[in-house]
Amino acid sequence: MGNQMLELLKRQHLYFQELEKLSESQRVLIKAQQSEDLLHILGKRQKLVMEIGEIHQQSASYRENWPNFKDLLPEHLRNSISELLGQLQTMLNAIIEQDKQDCQELSQTQQQISAEIQQTGRAKAATASYGKPKNLNYNQDNGGSIQFTG
């Protein structure tokens, strides 16, 4: 039972390492505002999260019974499992923190773009309100010269 739990945790650890790498790539892509590549990374992350979820389900009975059977395991196995559990928790916390920061940066970028769009819309509206001046007459027959009238 302990060896099976250890193997599941090792697989989960590998997935978390991949997730950390993708998280780093995600950070770079957000800073570079490369949304298409970011979507690709997010898709890969989703697959990894699903894999981690499957392992989590497979290890549910081990986790539930951990307090009862951990003292029955040889010390080296118990220590290996405990160490991996600690590493996984640390990795998960780091990934969650990174995601929070990335989410804030994306939100700030979205607000900035929204403000720029609104500003552009106001500038277009202001330009349109001026229209063609009434005292200018564009004369195409005169080689495109401008004649002042009125």
Structure-block tokens of residue 70: 């951990």
Q: For the residues 85-89, what does the mean pLDDT come to?
A: 94
Give residue 55's pLDDT: 94
Report which of 77, 56, 46 is spatially closest to residue 9, judged by C-alpha positions: 56
- The answer on pLDDT for 91 being more than 80 is yes
Pick 73 or 145 by higher pLDDT. 73
Q: Domain span at residue 55?
A: 2-148
Q: Are 37 and 22 in contact (CB under 8 A)?
A: no
Instruction: Read off the pLDDT of residues 134-150 as tens digits, 9 standing for 90 and up.
Output: 555 555 555 555 454 55
| Number of domains comprising the chain | 1
Ordered alpha helix ranges (H), 33-131: 35-58, 60-69, 75-130
Contacts of 135 (CB under 8 A, 6+ apart): 148, 149, 150
pTM above 0.85? no
Number of Cα atoms under 13 Å in the Cβ half of residue 93: 6
Q: For the residues 22-42, what does the mean pLDDT come to?
A: 92
Structure-block tokens of residue 69: 């059977």
